A and B are shown apart, each in its own frame.
Chain A
Amino acid sequence: MLFADTVKNKVLVHKPKFLIIMLISLIIIFSLFNLTDTIFGEFMRPVIGDPAESGWYGRLSTAFVVALIFLLNIVLIGFMPFRAQIIVVWLQLLTLFLSFFYSFDLNFEFIRSKIWFMITQGVFTTLYISAISITLASMLAILGAVAKLSSNGFAYAIASFYTSFFRGLPLLMQVYLIYLGLPQLGYVIEAVPAGILALTLCYGAYMTEIFRAGIQSIPKGQWEASRALGFKFGLTMRRIILPQSMPLIIPPTGNQFIAMLKDSSLVSVIGVWELMFLARTLGTKDFRHMEMLITAALIYWTLTVCLEFVQSRIERHYQTLSH
């Protein structure tokens, strides 16, 4: 919450004016789509007769009933405490989403036969590529940040050129450039290392900026104090500055890891059998692409939700440390 207000206002969704405006606009919106040929029309059959022949009468009355249900739902949720609201709205949106996927008429038998392979081969590859890349990228980022903050012209120039170049190119192009370009220089790189290298360089460039901002946020007095105690640069960095900037650096780094998990799908173009590659290929024999894409989408999402949970734990940990 941005600011916990002590002045209690009436809940917006319980104000009569709001309710009337909502009801009218919902009826208009729902009557724009013909809902009579959906499950709602079937549900209205006792009132409107055969949904297919009910015409505008059926269409408007169905829209009215759906709008009313929708509104009632909102009003009821309005009575709930904050936490319960979150849970109910989440569950409702999730049900909507799943029923949207369900309406594709998917073959669940097929999904069941492939999902284990998607996890053992696809998720495993995706995770280890991302984990190695984020570790290497963090190391690169510390170097880059120190160089960007140094008074040495060479170091600054190299680091700023690096961040500018690798933040300025699409990641997909970097994957191609490294995989196809490095062999031109005489070093034939395999697909997985090429992917890891591309992800490392690209995310290292973004994270250089995160690390730089973290280091810069430490007040000058800390540097002055450690200089007064006779600490050299390396020791100051290791013992004074970095430990204090970690609470600022780690949360956005977790964010980068979540982003990388999804961006690692770009590595599929060079033939790495990670999750995205399998999503695109496993369905081809039986022409069941939609099944595999949706399964992969849900797997990515689950992974991300888990990581977001870890992320929020880490954030809370550092919040309590710094206060």
Chain B
Amino acid sequence: MKYRNILAATASAAVLLTTATTQAGEALDRVMSENMLKIATSASWAPQSFLNDNNEMDGFDVDVAREVAKRLGVEAKFVTPAWDIITAGKWNGRWDVSVGSMTPTESRSRVLSFPAVYYYTPAVVAVHEDSKATTIADLNGKKMGAGTNSTFELYLKKDLTIDAEGAPAFEYKIDAGEIKSYANSSAVFDDLRLGDGTRLDGTVDALPAILKAAENNYPFKIIGSPVFYEPLALAIDKGDDEFNDKLAGIIAAMRSDGTLTALSKKWYDVDYTIAK
């Protein structure tokens, strides 16, 4: 009986604790009272987000984030923690929102909420230009590289479950022999550029990122058609429905008045805001 009491007490304490952290409106209140939206994003993922020639944050994600902050009527402030720290969730108010082209996956939605998808990018398979591979199937059994915990790595591991409405279905087309994990996409690109098969035989990454690398004399070529389209969303810490709805509303408005399309054309020359 005693033990049961203790159990009940712990259970109710746990409930209390969780409700304490999931009070609706907390994050939104914080943003409004501090008059500042703290945005977590990468500083090394051109053209989504990077440091420009004036050493300031710039890119598609950064522009979207600034617009969101503007529509909330607050200032935008950027923080740049490592990607795995952002995706780990439990931000404790260190930053309010991630505008970092995050794909809503099943495992991420356990710790984060995804208020709105703001664009879709095709994920493609790329190889060194000396590669003899002509179809995606030629890469079966080869060494493939991708960023740790990225959707591309999950795709290679055949463990990708996209958890968003309107995401087109896809199938796994590669049986990678070995999957090498990297800190980020640019590390993958630097290894792939060394030569066909030197360290890597190929990679799966976002089309715009690969095009951007190719534009900067990285000897890459794209093979086959996109393997999947990933919806990319804003992410917030779990528990503030009001903030969630507010952000969803802002993105919907940016979509309908053409702001998102304009930003996409500005950075990618293509409208990525609708899934193909």
Contacts and interface: CB of A to CB of B under 8 A. Distances in A.
A33 to B, nearest CB: 19
B186 A287 contact: yes
B81 A270 contact: yes
Contact of A284 (B44, B53, B92, B93): B44
A125 to B, nearest CB: 13
B268 interface: no
A285 B57 CA distance: 11
B84 to A, nearest CB: 9
Interface string B91-115: 0111000000000000000000000
Interface in B19-77: 43-47, 50-53, 55, 58
B80 interface: yes
B92 A183 contact: yes
B238 to A, nearest CB: 15
Contacts of A273: 80
B82 A271 contact: yes
B79 interface: yes
Contact of B94 (A113, A188, A277): A188
Nearest to B59: A285
Contacts of A286: 216
A94 B139 CA distance: 44
B50 A285 contact: yes
Q: How large is the interface on B (under 10, 10 to 19, 20 to 34, 35 or more residues)?
A: 20 to 34
B6 interface: no
B156 to A, nearest CB: 23
Contacts, number: 65
Interface in A248-277: 269-271, 273, 277
A271 B79 contact: yes
Contacts of A183: 90, 92, 94
A190 B44 CA distance: 21
A303 interface: no
B51 A180 contact: no
A225 to B, nearest CB: 55
A301 interface: no
Interface in A157-187: 179-180, 183-184
Contact of A188 (B81, B92, B189): B92
Contacts of B88: 180
A190 B92 CA distance: 11
A280 interface: yes
A289 B90 CA distance: 32
A282 B94 contact: no
A286 B46 CA distance: 8
A218 B240 CA distance: 61
B44 A281 contact: yes
Given A117-B55, A286-B216, A281 B43 contact: yes
A284 B190 contact: no
B51 A289 contact: no
A179 B80 contact: no
A65 B58 CA distance: 54
6 contacts: A180-B90, A281-B50, A281-B51, A284-B186, A286-B216, A289-B186
Interface of A: 113-114, 117, 121, 179-180, 183-184, 188, 190-191, 269-271, 273, 277-278, 280-282, 284-287, 289
